[in-house]
Amino acid sequence: MSKVIEPGTNEITTTGQVGRSVPRLESKAKVTGRAEYIHNLELPGMLHAKVVRSTVAHARIRRIDVSAAKEMPGVYDVITAEDVLKLIPDPYYGPAFHDQPILAIGKVRHVGEPVAVVLASDVHTADRATDLVEVEYEDMEPVFHEVESAGTETAIVHDVIRPAGTFADLKTLKPRTKTNIAMEYHLRSGDVNAAFANADHVFEHTFRSQQVNHLPLEPIVTVAEVTDRGNLLIHTASQSPSFVRIEVARLLGWPENRVRVRTAYLGGGFGAKLYIKLEALVSVLALLTGRPVKLSLTMEEQFYTITRHAATVHIKTGVTKDGRILGRHVTTWWNGGAYADIGPRVTQKSGFTAAGPYDIDAVSLDSYAVYTNLPPAGALRGFGIPQLVWAYESQTDIIARELGLDPLDFRRKNLLTNGRPHATGTVLVDAGTTEVLTELERLMDWHGPFEHGTGPIRRGRGIAIGIKAAVSPTTSVAFVNIYSDGSCGLYCGTVDMGQGSDTAMAQIAADVLGLAAEDVRVIHADTDVTPYDMATLGSRSTFHMGNAVRLAAEDAKTKAVEMCAKQTGLATASLRVENGQVVTPDGQAFTYGAILSKQYGMQAGNIMGVGSFVPDYEKPSSENGKSENITPFWMVGGTGVEVEVDIETGKIAITRLVTVGDAGKALNPGIVKRQLSGASIMQMGFTLFEEMAFDEGQVVNASLADYKIPGFWDVPEQNDVQIVEVPHKNGPFGAKGIGETGSLALSPAVANALQDAIGVRIYETPLTPERVLRALRAEQGNEWEED
């Protein structure tokens, strides 16, 4: 860790709560093991569910025989789509498209797809009984690779693709048939062909990222129960309780107020616990049985439930010989798996940044969401951006090397800076592209000496930077409720899944109200209690919910001041708030509690502040994909690495990791640094060793024994994290999201360092020793057989 940005180094006014590294409010609950997780929830009379999953990638279901399973002692019932259809005539869900059945109907589209569910009094009985459910399949032709799938006419995953989801723009899309392209996004800005014609050099490469898993250590889990008044109460480890409520209500044809969705702490999310995962299924099970039902996935099942998009990115760039990028065309194929989940949103919302943080006159982008017969892919810490940065920042280095330019100088020369329009037409505002690059330069001592070594261990270094647009338009609402003694409750639906949002939100409310963050009680997401929030995703909470919380606290403060003004007969404008007290010009000070007691004649009442935030937004033109206001803020992250490569084993060791992120304003520098670092380490796993290995759609390494994630020994000894603060004019106290920033640029930085060390270029992650060795041999004209 390097220098801490002290509060007050920019012009933002705070009362000292914002900018302070408040220890996480839940620390004690977590270290004492008392923190609430849905995983631990037990309800009286609860049934345990186990899912019978498809063993084939693409097939018609001929017959499901549940009789043997039903007869097993301890089994309560076995549920198939037939039962689901009795309750819900159209049981398809999904955030972008309604394409995913609660249980497979007539067909399975990926290995691991839920086909039936066994309900039993205990989980072990349920598990054993799943083996007794016999499913007969009639195989269909599967397709697995995104580029192949985009072109096939025979292996069609969905007969009809019916875009219909929560998002107004997706609802208007026309149904498609005979294609696996679920959705596409195209951007045309300037004349890219002319640019290529005018260029001194045109570079063309294809990069690929593999499918990986989120692997939250608290597996995906949902408990549902029917309440006394016949409504649903869903306890779920979800990043998007408001969405779950809306979607389950839609499926059942109920009003929202009959569905209550609550969460607790999450043991990690990373995008795995978004939208509907188990909630629709478990709700149906509870309604069918009238009993509380719990379904908790195993680690293995998580691999079949949601993944990160594998992506193929073809990138063509025209440059002048002195290193000016004139034009760029990028085509991206996103491997969405069998169901769209949020893939179409990734395609569109991330797709438009595919040309990178560069100031390029002519840009042409094509982005395709493609169905395949793999487990569904969704959002995973970066919403597709790391896959794009992997491509463009690998190519950036290739070009610089080819042109004989310093990679950092080449980047700086082409950098998109504030005030300049991005390819979409949206002008860059308050984005620290320059600052992040400069910090990388400084921290890496980039122009200083560097020893590459000559023995079996070669050393190299590399950098990369990435840019991400925040998903838009989305809404957050917050309440700040001051209780009768003046103590305060903060009601916001942001889910604390380890990122420290409870603490950050408490800091914002406390700063406005003049209280200590530690004294603000944060009420966890519960749709009966906390107001609407789109979801905890895409690093949006600090900016969106932060603004809503700030506005709610301001509203409460204003009401308290107005109350006090009436009580004292003084003008509202003459009163100020200091240390949680309303202070009069002559120095009298009234706590919120005192104001309430005066108002109601006894310790009584509430002051309710409401804040609601939705940023301005202009949707992309259907003609050219452009928009002058496509994102509320830009995230900028840069990574520098120093590596040691063992040329005998191909193993890459990251000896120094430098993560630089623009936080706008670090509300809690300690938490921001740990977020940057956590994202960086996670991305390191995806870069060096994590990869879901498939055999005909079957995941052959679906366990933590076979699928390695970074452990403590994988963390580089030198792990430097640097916050850059370019205050955002619309951010709460200048802040913006940071949760994904650390993940953006790591992969290409490592590949760039690898090339720096041993002179080989790898175009596909992960950068395994095998790939390194193979590339090395190829470079040495000693190519091995592709496996």
Q: Is 566 among the residues that bind its own copies (CB under 8 A)?
A: no
- Window contacting its own copies (CB under 8 A); options: 149-157, 318-326, 343-351, 476-484: 476-484
Q: Of 28-36, 460-468, 580-588, 766-774, which part binds its own copies (CB under 8 A)?
A: 28-36
Task: Identify the residue among 484, 567, 621, 730 touching its own copies (CB under 8 A).
Answer: 484
Burial 531-543, CB ≥16 within 10 A → b, else e? bbbbbbbbbbbbb
Shortest Å distance, C-beta 32 to its own copies: 8
Strands 293-296 and 47-53: parallel
Give the footprint of its own copies on residues 617-656 (CB under 8 A): 617
Out of 240, 331, 481, 755, the only residue in the binding site for its own copies (CB under 8 A) is 481
Longest pairwise C-alpha distance within the chain: 89
How far are the Cα atoms of 371, 430, 455, 653, 762 from residue 459, in angstroms, in the given order?
41, 36, 10, 9, 16
Contacting residue, 603, 649, 703, 780, with its own copies by CB under 8 A: 603
172 binding its own copies? (CB under 8 A): no
Between 209 and 240, name the residue whose CB sits nearer to its own copies.
240
- Dihedral sign computed on CA atoms, order 164, 165, 171, 174: negative
**What residues numbered 317-336 form the site for its own copies, per CB under 8 A?**
none
Terminal-to-terminal C-alpha distance of the chain: 41
Interface residue with its own copies among 176, 258, 651, 708 (CB under 8 A) is 258
Q: How far is the CB of 542 from its own copies (least distance, A)?
A: 19
Question: By C-beta, is 486 or 748 nearer to its own copies?
Answer: 486
Binding-site member from 274, 340, 408, 534 for its own copies (CB under 8 A)? 534
Q: Which stretch binds its own copies (CB under 8 A): 86-94, 474-482, 675-683, 709-717?
A: 474-482
Cβ-based neighbour number of residue 441 at 10 Å: 20
3-state secondary structure 186-229: EEEECCHHHHHHHCCEEEEEEEEECCCCCCCCCCCEEEEEECCC
**CB nearer to its own copies: pick between 426 and 683:** 426
**Binding test (CB under 8 A) with its own copies, winner from 483, 647, 730, 769:** 483
Judged by CB under 8 A, the residue of 479, 634, 694, 707 near its own copies is 479
Rounded Cα distance between 224 and 284, Å, is: 9
Give the interface segment with its own copies, choosing from 103-111, 387-395, 482-490, 713-721 (CB under 8 A).
482-490
Answer for which of 16, 23, 36, 769 binds its own copies (CB under 8 A) is 36
Rounded to the nearest whole angstrom, what is the least distance from the CB of residue 618 to its own copies in the complex?
11
Residue 25 near its own copies by CB under 8 A: yes
Per DSSP, the three-state class of 679 is: helix
Least distance to its own copies from the beta carbon of 254, Å? 9
Is residue 249 involved in binding its own copies (CB under 8 A)? Answer: yes
- Both tokens of 66, joined, read 């549940």
C-alpha to C-alpha distance for 526 and 516, rounded to whole angstroms: 24
In single-letter form, the type of residue at position 637 comes to G
x-marked contacts with its own copies along 218-247 as a string, rule CB under 8 A: ---------xxxxx----------x--xx-
Yes or no: say if 478 and 491 are a contact pair by the CB < 8 Å rule: yes
To its own copies, the closest distance from the beta carbon of 12 in angstroms equals 27
CB distance 328 to 194 below 8 Å:
no
- For CA atoms 450, 455, 461, 462, give the dihedral sign: positive
Under the criterion CB under 8 A, does residue 261 sit at the interface with its own copies? no
- Residue range at the interface with its own copies (CB under 8 A); choices 343-351, 446-454, 524-532, 709-717: 524-532
In the numeric block, which tokens belong to residue 724?
């850059």
Question: In the complex with its own copies, which residue's Cβ is closer, 167 or 334?
Answer: 167
* Three-state SS annotation for 430-460: CCCHHHHHHHHHHHCCCCCCCCCCCCCEEEE
Closest contact distance (angstroms) between CB of 168 and its own copies is 6
Instruction: Answer yes or no whether residue 77 interacts with its own copies by CB under 8 A.
Output: no
> Binder to its own copies among 257, 417, 574, 579 (CB under 8 A)?
257
3-class SS letters over 261-298: EECCECCCCCCCCCCCCCHHHHHHHHHHHCCCEEEECC
Q: Which stretch binds its own copies (CB under 8 A): 144-152, 483-491, 576-584, 648-656?
A: 483-491
CA-CA distance, 377 to 364, in Å (whole number)? 25
Integer Cα distance of 596 and 611 in angstroms: 21
Length of the chain (residues): 787
In the bound state with its own copies, the residue whose beta carbon lies nearer, of 601 and 781, is 601
Q: Does 616 bind its own copies (CB under 8 A)?
A: no
Stretch that binds its own copies, among 29-37, 52-60, 102-110, 624-632 (CB under 8 A): 29-37
Only one of the segments 128-136, 160-168, 353-361, 398-406 lies at the binding site for its own copies (rule: CB under 8 A); that segment is 160-168
Q: Please check whether residue 672 is in contact with residue 663, taking contact to mean a CB–CB distance below 8 angstroms.
A: yes
Tell me which of 15, 121, 568, 599 binds its own copies, using CB under 8 A.
599
Shortest distance, CB of residue 102 to its own copies, whole angstroms?
Answer: 20
489: contact with its own copies by CB under 8 A: yes
**Closest CB to its own copies among 225 and 691?**
225
Q: Of 264-283, which residues contact its own copies (CB under 8 A)?
A: 265
Residues 6+ apart with CB under 8 A from 780: none
Residue 248 touches its own copies, criterion: CB under 8 A: no
DSSP bridge partners of 465: 638
Q: Is 289 in the site for its own copies (CB under 8 A)?
A: no
> Is there binding between residue 606 and its own copies (CB under 8 A)?
yes
Give the SS3 label for residue 767. coil
**Should residue 518 be labelled a site residue for its own copies when binding is judged by CB under 8 A?**
no
Using CB under 8 A as the binding rule, whether residue 383 contacts its own copies is answered as no
CA distances from 325 to 193, 322, 379, 412, 436 (A): 13, 9, 30, 11, 20
Round to whole Å and give the CA distance between 550 and 510.
9
CA dihedral 395, 401, 404, 405 (to 10 degrees): 60
Contacting residues toward its own copies, per CB under 8 A? 25-26, 28-29, 34-36, 42, 44, 166-168, 227-231, 242, 245-246, 249, 255-258, 265, 473-475, 477, 479, 481, 483-489, 519-521, 523, 527-529, 531-532, 534, 597, 599-606, 608, 610, 612, 614, 617
